[in-house]
Structure 1
Amino acid sequence: MKKNIAIIMGGYSSEYEISLKSGKVVYETLNKDKYNAYRVHIFKEKWVYVDDDNNEYPIDKNDFSVLLSDESIKFDCVFNAIHGSPGEDGFMQAYFEMLNIPHTSCSMYQAALTFNKRDLLATLKPYGIKTAESFYLNLGDTINEDAIISKVGLPCFVKANRSGSSFGISKVYKKEDLQTAIDHSFKEDNEIIIEQFLDGVEVSVGVISYKGEITVLPITEIVSENDFFDYAAKYEGKSQEITPARISKDYEEKTRKVAKQIYSILGMTGFSRSEFIFKDDEPYLLEMNTVPGLTKESILPQQAAEAGISMADLFDNAISEALNN
């Protein structure tokens, strides 16, 4: 009997359009002989199943079901394609875990932790994971520009603490531009992180649970045409994403080792994609994404393809892992 799979997409953050694209790819890729796939749009104002004619049917939040032709459809598994809140920060994970519905992403705690850049870096630091020097600010804090620059130097990056796709991030070269960058980040989140600029090769590495084993995918080198790997570089073709990365065997082994170590330390399941920059021949962690982009152009599917894993197999495996867990 075919499994009913709800593909959740959209979300409450600036990343909702990217999420809709990822969800659409998952919907079109899943094996229709094996699964009944349902597109479910999650927005603040509505949770709805959207059919192929774009008709909308409300989701019953009591049990995450949908009524179609007087039949209540329930789901065997949820494929999470929501980037940002509430799909990547633990809220949807907690909801599905309370309902005992399997889902393809990591658990609630891991999602909340990894989505919070400051908490993630603080958790990993005792394990020897290298990270950039950083300075934290909460909305309403007194801003001491001299103290910030003294700690992280210039140039530096000002980032919204809980956002993705490079929303709310700026590279700052001059003290007089720091306040503007801070204001920009606070539009995305009430917590921000200001980080030292690391000048080195940037790489991205996917780690997934594949057929029951932690699997490190081929590494991607990021070469941005812009000043850094911003939104335009990620989604508007303003970068080169080279897989496999043009790095030495030593760099590759170090990156693979630390990426797998992080996945294991955090007790991760499902997809993950982590960014690193090399400094003094060592990989420094920037961040981890637990619901990475899933379009054909996205980095993790590129890495899977290099490893000989098709998108259909990648998505099928995610569902199988969720059902087995």
Structure 2
Amino acid sequence: MKNIAVLMGGYSHEWEISMKSGAVIAQHIDTDLYRIYAVAILKEGWYYKDTAGERYEIDKNDFSLSVAGEKITFDCCYNTIHGTPGEDGKLQAMLELLNVPQTSCDYYQSAITFNKRDCIAVLKPWNITTGEHIYINQGDPIDLDNIIAAVGLPCFVKANRSGSSFGVSKVYKREEMTAALEKAFDVDEEIIIESFLDGTEVSVGVYQTGNKIKVLFPTEIVSENDFFDYEAKYQGKSQEITPARIPQEQMTSVQDITSRIYQILKLKGLARADFIFHNNVPHFIEINTNPGMSEESIIPKQIKASGESLKTVLTRLIEHTIKTHKK
């Protein structure tokens, strides 16, 4: 049997969400085919705990374990870390140097997609429609009038390299902007400010096995809060309707764009792209290359709506990763 490490945790605000995602992944991987090791990647250490609670540290020299005198190496790592170091390319680069396959996209693609403004910059020459944006680094002079003139009000202020809506504010008035900037700078030293797009919000899952890119049914997001914030995502303050209640023409359009983005960026593994239909045109917001996989998350619901089981999809992804890994 093949040994699979399910990587979870991370060093960011999202580590607890990642632990939930990892637990769901570990629960659904086919135990008839694989031995599963849930590996926490945390600031306090990298380790695996057995059913008795015994803790075994990962040997970072070759990403292996020693359990009861047996050295365990991994045929593949299922990477479900949100944020750094598992979604921004750092862990991917390390595993590539150690010749250990992992299911997420490669380090360069991870670095680009984790950085919202870099991702938008890469996609713009390919005529991917987005809103208007302003970028600010910590320490830059800030001219609120110029910001508002560029993106309008209301607008969103976001930490550039974060997920799960940490460091995000919706700003309606000029006097709210300073507090929103401070909130975002608490999470990241880079900020992206984007125009408000009025319309239906959808999220689209996508993955590749073999030569086929599979785009899942879009999910329509209807938040009870002012936008799809942390409460809406993880505490039930939203409706997530799959398939989205949009015309077939729009559904085909957003699925085609998702597939195109996946190909342009040369991604692999499961990803989830977010859009807003503004004036009936899908505007790209961002793409998550290690999307949430907890019980509350969108991707597992989309896989179910496609008529397949999460276990089957995970098997495909693991086998595709192992097969296509560059030795």
> Is the TM-score greater than 0.5?
yes
Does the Cα contact within 8 Å between 1:208 and 1:216 map onto a contact in 2? yes
Give a deviation string over 1:93-131, Cα, whole Å, max 9, x none: 111111111111111111110000000000000110011
- In the aligned structure 2, how far is the partner of 1:208 from the partner of 1:311? 13
What's the Cα RMSD here? 0.9
Who is 1:302 aligned against? 301
Who is 1:32 aligned against? 31
Who is 1:191 aligned against? 190
Who is 2:175 aligned against? 176
Does the Cα contact within 8 Å between 1:212 and 1:321 map onto a contact in 2? no
Residue type at the aligned position of 2:86: G
For normalisation by structure 2, the TM-score amounts to 0.98
Pairwise mapping of residues 79-228 of structure 1 onto structure 2 (< 5 A)? 79-228=78-227
Q: For residue 211 of structure 1, report the CA deviation from its aligned partner.
A: 4.6
Who is 1:48 aligned against? 47
For normalisation by structure 1, the TM-score amounts to 0.98
Deviates most, 291-300 or 165-174: 291-300
Give a deviation string over 1:136-157, Cα, whole Å, max 9, x none: 0000001100000000000000
Flag as ranges the 4+ runs of structure 1 deviating above 6 A. Answer: none
Task: Tell me if 1:62 matches 2:61.
Answer: yes
Residue type at the aligned position of 2:235: E
Who is 1:78 aligned against? 77
Who is 2:11 aligned against? 12
- In the aligned structure 2, how far is the partner of 1:207 from the partner of 1:53? 37
Q: For residue 249 of structure 1, report the CA deviation from its aligned partner.
A: 1.2
Give a deviation string over 1:230-270, Cα, whole Å, max 9, x none: 00000000000000000011211110111111001011111
- In the aligned structure 1, how far is the partner of 2:71 from the partner of 2:209? 32
Q: For residue 29 of structure 1, report the CA deviation from its aligned partner.
A: 1.4
Who is 1:261 aligned against? 260
Residue type at the aligned position of 2:111: A
Aligned residue pairs: how many?
324
- In the aligned structure 1, how far is the partner of 2:29 from the partner of 2:246? 34
For the residue of structure 2 that corresponds to 1:320, the secondary structure is: helix
For the residue of structure 2 that corresponds to 1:123, the secondary structure is: helix
Structure 2: runs of 5 or more not aligned = none
For the residue of structure 1 that corresponds to 2:287, the secondary structure is: strand
Residue type at the aligned position of 2:145: D
Deviates most, 238-247 or 69-78: 69-78
- In the aligned structure 2, how far is the partner of 1:309 from the partner of 1:182? 43
Residue type at the aligned position of 2:125: P
